[in-house]
Amino acid sequence: MREFWYRGFSILSIAFILMMTIFQNMLFPLGVSAAELNQSGIVDSFHMKQTELRHGDRTKIEVTYSDKNDMMKSGDTLTLQVPENLETFKGTTIPLNNDQGTNFGSCEISQGQVVCTFNDTVEELNNVRGSFYFMVQAGSVSAGTTEEYETNLGTNLAKQPYSITAPEGGTSPGVFFYKTGDMQPSNPHHVRWFLNANLKKEYLNDDIIIKDRIGQGQEIKEDSFRITVDYWNGNAFSLTKKEFEDRGFGKITIHDNTNFDVVIYKDKASANAFSIAYKTAITDAGESIDLFKNEYELAYQVLNQDRVEKTDTFTVENIDQGGESEGDFPPAGTVRLFKTVSGNEEIPLSGVKFNVYKQDDTLVAEDKVTGEDGKVEVSNLQPGSYYAQEIEAPEYVEFDQNKRIPFMIKSGVEQGIEIPVQNQIKTTSVDVEKMWKGDETEKVTVNLLADGEKVADVELSDKNNWKHTFTELPVVHDIKDE
């Protein structure tokens, strides 16, 4: 007899007999496991735009994919491994849409993986295909060295090489001032900016004045200011905006969320270097901007030299990633029947047989059987009215042989039609009774498993006479007593 395993509350009560009524049926596992596609051959190619990288460089990885056999299902995933010593801009999402805005799924970017999850659109269309690209940043290697790597993103494609190089360190500052910025992979919704002044630690004749202007798509984070002071003797320390002002180094005046002024007093600035770091938050409008611009005006005078006034702009490249997907409806003159479980439309039904007739009952297609994806197509139909009729189905499927499923093939259209058809699954019941051998306990719990997965449980005790009937259990096929 088929066994159903259970757990009790006491080790002393593990020996009991589970009596059940089997209507010559076995439980149907409600739910079809989503598949992981990275070894399925769905990935056609990948390309790293730049393969000889320096520490901190960014590059794009482009991936193309296609469903060769129309087997993709809702919930299927494509998981790609981020190459070694490359870092993604985590916490970002790439939608996979077609030109009409229909969504096929999305790719979630995390620390070490890119996981694309597909939705039910992939089941509705043929020849699903697409591409996406994401940005990575090169990690660190030892100064003056080049490290060689290779990757296939965790797919079954051939591996491709890439390298990361770090230059020799120890260069001396050659300018009085420069501005720079970047975006960190761990924080893709902010831009970091740096104002670096008096890098050669010269003596000054006047204050250093910087006027900073933030470009479109950004807003200053007032609490993000950090000022690093590097004294002439090599002693360096970091200050908040308030500490910078309270200790008499200068003044930072924020006018609004897009501009501020910095004054570094000459007596504090002389012979000391300063780096003013702050962040800007990327606004909703800024998400689509390619480059974030930041302008500055600088004025200073080194002792016994002419006064310098300078205006310049620095830009930071936004994260560039995206994707698209498309698929085809059945061709003109084609009807696709898509069989699923009623109430659980994500579960396809295979092995259902159809005939297709003209409206006048002329048979035009016979014994068309749904595949594992629950689909079957009839092609080369002339314009007109038709109906489909189920003539056979697996024993666990309820169907009406007399039910007609009408449809029309129209003239002058470029695509065929898909008709969803749902069926109920037959149900049965299973009786259980606890029969004691040895000492009794007050209660036990019986877990009912189908294919190793728990589908129901019940607590048995004197209150229910140690008996219970599991009802409305879906069935799939016959079994035999052993």
Name the pLDDT band for 172 (thresholds 50, 70, 90).
Answer: low
- Domain end among 302, 322, 342: 322
Clarify whether residues 431 and 416 are in a common domain: no
Q: Token pair for residue 6?
A: 């259970």
Clarify whether residues 362 and 290 are in a common domain: no
Domain membership of residue 192 (yes or no) is yes
Domain membership of residue 10 (yes or no) is no
What CATH code is carried by the domain that includes residue 459? 2.60.40.1140
Domain membership of residue 30 (yes or no) is no
Nearest C-alpha neighbor of 205 from the set 311, 299, 312: 299
Clarify whether residues 381 and 450 are in a common domain: no
pLDDT reported for residue 11 = 29
Domain membership of residue 480 (yes or no) is no
Mean pLDDT of the 323-341 span:
92
Local structure of 33: helix, strand or coil: coil
Report the distance separating Cα 259 and Cα 287, nearest Å: 20
Clarify whether residues 94 and 127 are in a common domain: yes
The count of domains in the chain is 4
Amino acid (one-letter) located at 16: F
- Domain end among 322, 345, 378: 322
Domain membership of residue 16 (yes or no) is no
Clarify whether residues 157 and 199 are in a common domain: no
Clarify whether residues 102 and 238 are in a common domain: no
- pLDDT tens digit string along 374-428? 899 999 999 999 999 999 999 889 989 999 999 999 998 888 998 999 998 888 7
Clarify whether residues 418 and 451 are in a common domain: no
Clarify whether residues 78 and 208 are in a common domain: no
Nearest C-alpha neighbor of 17 from the set 448, 432, 455, 478: 432
- Domain enclosing residue 448, as ranges: 427-474
Domain membership of residue 479 (yes or no) is no
pTM of the model: 0.68
User: Per-residue pLDDT for 171 more than 90?
Assistant: no
- Residue pair 166/145 in contact by the 8 Å Cβ criterion: yes
- pLDDT tens digit string along 114-133? 999 999 899 888 899 999 99
